[in-house]
Amino acid sequence: MAKRFDRSAACIRAGRGFGAYGRECGLGVTTGVLIKAFIFDLDGVLTDTAEYHYRAWKRLADEEGLPFTREDNEYLRGISRRESLTLILKGRVYPEEKIREMMARKNNYYLQYIHELSPRDLLPGARELLDEIRAAGLKSAIGSASRNAEEVIDRLGLRPLLDAISDGYSVERQKPAPDLFLHAAAQLGLGPSECVVVEDAAAGVEAAKASGFRVVGLGPRERTGGADVVFPSLAGVHLSDILSALAPAVRG
């Protein structure tokens, strides 16, 4: 059962008073900095389709006679399909037509694998945190490089909890450029300083920090250590925990 969000408790735990968070609570009366929204990466944060991506890339690589391991797959976190293929090719040169065909083939394999994706595939703590954010009167958005984000969101049953979606079709420049997150914030009518980005990839953390967002990193510190705060995952993490952890970063 999700922990009931207590606005006053969150404010107190963050070392702040009332008056700045929406209408009731914020990270700081003294700083004047408000948090009005959370922007989530999708894969590795709310769900984990990394295995499906690995299987799809591995199938393509095997067909093309290219070496590709699970370790290689870790370097593909948070970047676009084209950038991923470029890394897999490791300097090998192919005509643009072949590049497009390989990207399409990989995507077809991936779509086959995620056909059975459902709300049961949400990572622990993800739905609970989204519910708490909604109950607190804050906004939520997706900032994902995936061009399949809309389908994954629908299969996970998340659309009613989201106010905006920024995906691989939304912007030309992908992470580590900040465009995805800036586009999501713009859809919400907010600036970077009013939003918190939740990311599990170094490219995403870099993109968000470079454009003035506060960042919650998920996973190993060697991958997300550039974030303002880092949790192992969203399991057991509540909105009040995030506010408390971010307060020192805001004061600093």
Share of the chain above pLDDT 70, in %: 85
**What is the reported pLDDT for 85?**
97
Q: What is the mean pLDDT of residues 119-140?
A: 97
Give the pLDDT score at 247: 86
pLDDT value at position 14? 38
State the pLDDT at residue 251.
Answer: 54
Residue type (1 letter), 129 = L
Instruction: Give yes or no for residue 15 having a pLDDT over 70.
Output: no
Q: Is the pLDDT of residue 27 over 50?
A: no
Region class of 123: left (phi > 0), else alpha (psi between -120 and 50), else beta:
beta
N- to C-terminal Cα separation, the chain:
35
**Domains of the chain with CATH codes:** 7-47+123-251 (3.40.50.1000), 50-116 (1.10.150.240)
- Read off the pLDDT band of 252 (50, 70, 90): low
Give the mean model confidence (pLDDT) for residues 2-11.
45
Alpha-carbon distance values, 42 to 32, 49, 90, 139, 144 (Å) = 30, 9, 26, 16, 6
CB 222 within 8 A of CB 239: no
3-state secondary structure 233-245: CCCCCCHHHHHHH
Compute the Cα dihedral for 103, 148, 234, 251 and give only its sign. Answer: positive
Identify the weakest region by mean pLDDT among 124-138, 191-205, 236-250.
Answer: 236-250
Say what the pLDDT of residue 21 is: 41
Read off the pLDDT of residues 78-102 as tens digits, 9 standing for 90 and up.
788 999 999 999 999 999 999 999 9
Residue 33 has pLDDT above 80, yes or no: no
As annotated, the active-site residues are 41, 43
Mean pLDDT of 168-187: 91
Mean pLDDT across 45-69 = 94
| Range 35-49 average pLDDT | 94
